[in-house]
Amino acid sequence: MGKLLLAPMEGLVDDVLRDVLTRVGAYDLAVSEFIRVSGNLLPPRAFRRLCPELDNGSRTRAGTPLVVQLLGSDPACMAENAAQLVELAPAGIDLNFGCPAPTVNRHGGGAMLLADPEQLLRIAAAVRRVVPAEIPFTAKMRLGVRDTAKTLDCARALAAGGIVALVVHARTRTDGYRPPAHWEWIARIRAVVETPVVANGEVWTVADHARCCAVSGSDDVMIGRGAVADPFLARRIRAQAAREVVAVDRSDDWRQLQPLLASYWQQVCAKVAARHAPGRLKLWLGSLRRNFVEAEALFMAIRTLAGVEEISRVLELHGIPAQKPPA
């Protein structure tokens, strides 16, 4: 089967959740949340702060390679920062042309750049010149801003700019995350560029993955929210491909997930202020409720709690060995 990639998800997946999700296994690589480039040369510590994996050979603790994603609209500034990043030896450099967030788009970044294929080419070509061949250089795009009028032109521009792979989230900026994902457009993109194309969007289950591959024609798939909602999804996809039995009962998966939830909670408490840690845990549990009844029960038990110690006590009652976080 093809590759499985863990998607960048600003505000949802950071180095802590990447650590936990890649420990479950089955991902060929992960892509970081974007690092915003907005006119200045970022110091090395800025890259390391968002991507501490750079100090571990650009790999998660489980050994999954981490590609670092940049977001910006100025070709020269993007190239200058990419050159700085090259010195930190990332497992790859990716450019973000897909973020639909208004805070990014109102400054002309992310998916808004899809209105100008020539600017995409200028940015990609400028970065290509400073990224050595041994570091994979890729990009991620959506189908467009409001429609698909320039979809193929954008894909051609990025391919001409020198990327070695293109991830396509099969929705426009206006679509946001509303289903469906238009996987058929990925097939149309594959027909006009020689660059390998990775499919992305609306893969929540093993069956979704199979349909995505069949419709898009792509063997390589990037999984985002589906991976957060089901940390075992990539493993289940690989089991299906190997013609192994994929269990319908998820109780064993929940037992395996409990120590990972404990690790996540401990790492979050060590990383962020105590007032922010509960929200991070609730956010992940909110996604897990889609697949695990136990997550629903746990979410409801902590939903109104705001204290780290009281949440830790509830986690213990639910079989999650939450050690007392550092003071």
pLDDT for 196-231, tens place per residue?
Answer: 999 999 999 999 999 999 999 999 999 999 999 999
Task: Check residue 326 and give its pLDDT.
Answer: 43
Share of the chain above pLDDT 90, in %: 91
Task: Check residue 105 and give its pLDDT.
Answer: 83
Task: Check residue 247 and give its pLDDT.
Answer: 83
Task: Check residue 246 and give its pLDDT.
Answer: 84
Q: Is 154 a catalytic residue?
A: no
pTM for the full predicted model: 0.95
Task: Check residue 102 and give its pLDDT.
Answer: 80
Which is the catalytic residue, given 51, 77, 99, 154? 99
Task: Check residue 324 and give its pLDDT.
Answer: 52
Write down all domains in the chain, each with its CATH number in brackets: 4-241 (3.20.20.70), 251-317 (1.20.225)
Task: Check residue 262 and give its pLDDT.
Answer: 97
Task: Check residue 323 and give its pLDDT.
Answer: 65
Task: Check residue 109 and give its pLDDT.
Answer: 87
Task: Check residue 322 and give its pLDDT.
Answer: 78
Which parts of the chain register pLDDT below 70? 323-327
The answer to whether residues 216 and 191 touch, using CB atoms and an 8 Å cutoff, is no
